Chain A
Amino acid sequence: MQTIDLSKVGLRETNKMLQDQSADTNQTSWEIVNPRGSHAIACGLDAPIEVTIKGSTGYYCAGMNQQATVNIHGSAGPGTGENIMSGKIVIEGDASQYLGATGQGGLIVVKGNASSRCGISMKGVNIVVQGNIGHMSAFMGQSGNLVVCGDAGDALGDSCYEARFFVRGKVKSLGADCIKKEMREEHITLLRNLLDEAGIDADPNEFSRYGSARQLYNFHVDNAGAY
């Protein structure tokens, strides 16, 4: 295992080392110590490596991730996993606002709570949160799945397209054009697989499904009041 002391090596050098790993690298296990809430740690990775950050991170950690697994042993700042393409991000603590924004693939797991705008404009990423999520989550979500084992804040799934939301607890309010939907067998199976992949022990039967009512896809003058 390679250990990098971020406070000594510096951010640019650290990220360059990680970004330089190729698909067949034999240095597959990395540890970053002393992150001290720094921004943009382990961004733009594109190799099947595992990076563990020992502490809390600032803005945009593991942004644009491909293939890599990034573990954050602490809490994560705003915009973590922004535009993730593939791979996995596991946050042991809480995640700040706009987690996984515009994410196109891969999996993000939060063991604590996620803040507002979780999964905003998600385009295929799967996000599993063991705790609660904040307001305006999955705003304009296009595809992918957002799983919340706790409660969701105001305006869940506002103006969403085909992203699916599974919430075990209460939803404070649903956003425009987001409705509660029937939980069919295929959804139970999907949810069970996501929870298994996230390593979270929860019964899929206890969740409710939410998604788009498909009334705001195209502009219609009768909907003007809803915009």
Chain B
Amino acid sequence: MCGIVGLFLKDSSLEPRLGEMLTAMLITMTDRGPDSAGIAIYGGESAGRSKMTVQSDEPETAFADLAAKLQDAAGGPVNLTVKSTHAVLDIPAGSTGKVRAALNEMGIRIMSVGDSLEIYKEVGLPKDVAAQFDLAKMSGTHGIGHTRMATESAVTTMGAHPFNTGSDQCLVHNGSLSNHNSLRRKLRREGIHIETENDTEVGAAYLTWKMQNGATLGEALESSLQDLDGFFTFVVGTKDGFGVVRDPIACKPAVMAETDQYVAFGSEYRALVDLPGIETARVWEPEPATVYFWSHNDTPTATEKAA
């Protein structure tokens, strides 16, 4: 069992409250996942710059002179904002490849790469993780969160969700994949880096691999319905919005709510009860084997895939 929450704002006046609303939703889902928690938040981008969220178990030493050390690899100014065990690197656009290589050499973990996305995740109760990173104070256009009750692999920072799948893309998962071992071997042969024994990381790596081979995120999600065996409700974050897909059996719960101000996702209705105007919101369950997308750029889409 795990808990998922997601919030996509249509009304920009709510953006300063995104972190606060998402944190409250996340904490409500504590009894679905008390092991670890994480949040992916899209806080906006600056022209000509990219963002990387990094993590270290020894942040004092690892982050002390990290900005200076990365200057050469980045080929320009690097700004670093430390938040507990995580730090957000603000680097010149186009330098993420070289910075990633430099970080790998230093043994610093990369949580996310993109222009707008930041990911924070740690082991512990959702309320403690939220306080550790001061998530309630964050603003943004949209974000997704996850509370984990581990079934398939160890309770570690790297086993926590969300998983970064590509630039400005991330994935959270409720369920369990049963063909993750064979798929991990296949993806590793294809040269995809997979760090842990976690099933969701394989799901994330699968999407990354599909997209590296030319699929759009929507296409990658549709093919996941064929290639992933097991139970899943996935919520994916993109630069412009989020998407939802459930396996054809759809035993992992999902509730959505939409008003003029937002689209919200919760594993349970409980997670949504404090959102403004929820009493009059359109509330429904997403259909099985159907890919849904909400984007700030496009009109909402739902693509049905035969089970």
Interface size class for chain B?
Answer: 10 to 19
Closest to A78 in B: B253
Q: Which of B161-169, B172-180, B268-276 contacts A (4 or more CB under 8 A)?
A: B268-276
Q: Which residues of A contact B268 (CB under 8 A)?
A: 37, 58-59, 77
Q: Is the CB of A94 within 8 A of B270?
A: no
In the complex, A92 has a CB within 8 A of chain B: no
Q: Which residues of B contact A12 (CB under 8 A)?
A: none
Pick from B269, B270, B271, B288: contact of A116, CB below 8 A: B288
Closest to A57 in B: B269
Q: Is the CB of A94 within 8 A of B253?
A: no
Closest to A155 in B: B307
Q: Is the CB of B285 within 8 A of A94?
A: yes
Q: Is the CB of B253 within 8 A of A56?
A: no
Q: Is the CB of B269 within 8 A of A37?
A: yes
Q: Which residues of B contact A115 (CB under 8 A)?
A: 285
CA distance A96 to B283 in the complex (A): 12
Q: Which residues of B contact A93 (CB under 8 A)?
A: 283
In the complex, B250 has a CB within 8 A of chain A: yes
Binary per-residue interface labels of chain B (110-124) against chain A in the complex, 1 for a CB within 8 Å, 0 otherwise: 000000000000000
Given A115-B285, A135-B288, verify A97-B251 contact (CB < 8 Å).
yes
Which of A37, A59, A115 neighbours the largest number of chain B CB atoms within 10 Å of its CB? A37
In the complex, A31 has a CB within 8 A of chain B: no
Q: Which residues of A contact B307 (CB under 8 A)?
A: 135, 154
Binary per-residue interface labels of chain B (246-286) against chain A in the complex, 1 for a CB within 8 Å, 0 otherwise: 00101101010000000000001111110000000001110
Q: Which residues of A contact B (CB under 8 A)?
A: 36-38, 56, 58-59, 75, 77-78, 93-94, 96-97, 115-116, 134-135, 154
Given A94-B285, A96-B285, A115-B285, verify A75-B251 contact (CB < 8 Å).
no
Q: Which residues of A contact B255 (CB under 8 A)?
A: 96
Q: Which residues of B contact A38 (CB under 8 A)?
A: 270
Could you tell me the distance in whole angstroms from the C-beta of A225 to the nearest C-beta in chain B? 19
Given A58-B268, A96-B253, A154-B307, verify A37-B288 contact (CB < 8 Å).
no
A-B contacts, 29 of them at CB < 8 A, read A36-B270, A36-B273, A37-B268, A37-B269, A37-B270, A37-B271, A37-B272, A56-B283, A58-B268, A58-B269, A58-B270, A75-B269, A77-B253, A77-B269, A78-B253, A93-B283, A94-B283, A94-B285, A96-B253, A96-B285, A97-B251, A97-B253, A115-B285, A116-B250, A116-B251, A135-B248, A135-B250, A135-B288, A135-B307
Interface class of chain B by DSSP:
loop
Q: Which residues of B contact A (CB under 8 A)?
A: 248, 250-251, 253, 255, 268-273, 283-285, 288, 307
Could you tell me the distance in whole angstroms from the C-beta of A34 to the nearest C-beta in chain B? 9
Closest to B285 in A: A115
Q: Which residues of A contact B250 (CB under 8 A)?
A: 97, 116, 134-135
CA distance A75 to B273 in the complex (A): 12
Closest 6 CB pairs of A and B: A37-B270, A37-B269, A36-B273, A56-B269, A115-B285, A37-B273
Closest to B266 in A: A37
CA distance A135 to B285 in the complex (A): 13
Q: Which residues of B contact A135 (CB under 8 A)?
A: 248, 250, 288, 307
Could you tell me the distance in whole angstroms from the C-beta of B210 to the nearest C-beta in chain A? 26
CA distance A93 to B282 in the complex (A): 11
CA distance A69 to B257 in the complex (A): 28
